Structure 1
Amino acid sequence: MEWTVGFPDLSATEFPMLWALTPYGDAVFNQRQIPLLLAELERLPAACGGEWVEQDRELCRVVERGTHLYLWFVGD
């Protein structure tokens, strides 16, 4: 199952960071957006979860610890 399968059902107001991700488009998160993304991951419905959630958290931590770093999601 594709990791973004449940994203269209997420509320754009409750999950604006995750809602913006699509399997076909690129998305970039800067250091100021990372805490918002992490907060959304914490309250993500189980149906949308999976191994990718912990991987994403670790990538977020890398961005938080660095300088001038971005988290990029590259679509198809």
Structure 2
Amino acid sequence: MQVRGDLGDVVARAGCGLDWFALLAKLDQAAFPMLSALDPYGDAVFNVRQVPLLLAELERLPAERGGQWVQEVSELCQVVERDTHRYLWFVGD
């Protein structure tokens, strides 16, 4: 997970990874549309207007699907919200 600027420059990054198969693979797409957009093999990008929706989903994520990754995503979302032209990237394999 990274925050990048318009030119692709990495502004911040997370240290832990996300076990997509264990944590997100079977989420209800209607209830979690932002998290359901994540793909373990492709990149997903969230802009400043999508970040609040993502944060709301993280807050209601069941505890067994949480962990350190949720805190790190929340912190990266704050980086996106603090400045213009910032994007949260989930980088797939």
TM-score (ref. length: structure 1): 0.92
SS of residue in 2 equivalent to 1:60 = helix
Equivalent AA in structure 1 for residue 87 of structure 2? Y
1:20 counterpart residue number: 37
Higher strand share: 2
- Kept in 2, the 8 Å contact 1:28–1:73? The answer is yes
Partner Cα distance (1:41, 1:35) in 2: 10
1:3 aligns to what? 19
How many residues get paired?
75
Q: Which has the larger radius of gyration?
A: 2
* Structure 1 unaligned blocks of 5 or more: none
Corresponding residue for 1:55? 72
* Aligned-residue offset at 1:3: 2.4
CA RMSD of aligned residues (A): 1.0
For 1:39, which of 45, 56, 62 is the aligned residue? 56
Identity within the alignment, %: 65
* TM-score, normalising length: structure 2: 0.76
Check the 8 A contact 1:3/1:52 in 2, yes or no.
no
Distance 2:77 2:61 in 1: 16
Q: Provide the C-alpha distance between the structure 2 equivalents of 1:6 and 1:45, rounded to a whole number of angstroms.
A: 10
| Deviation >2 Å, runs of 4+ | none
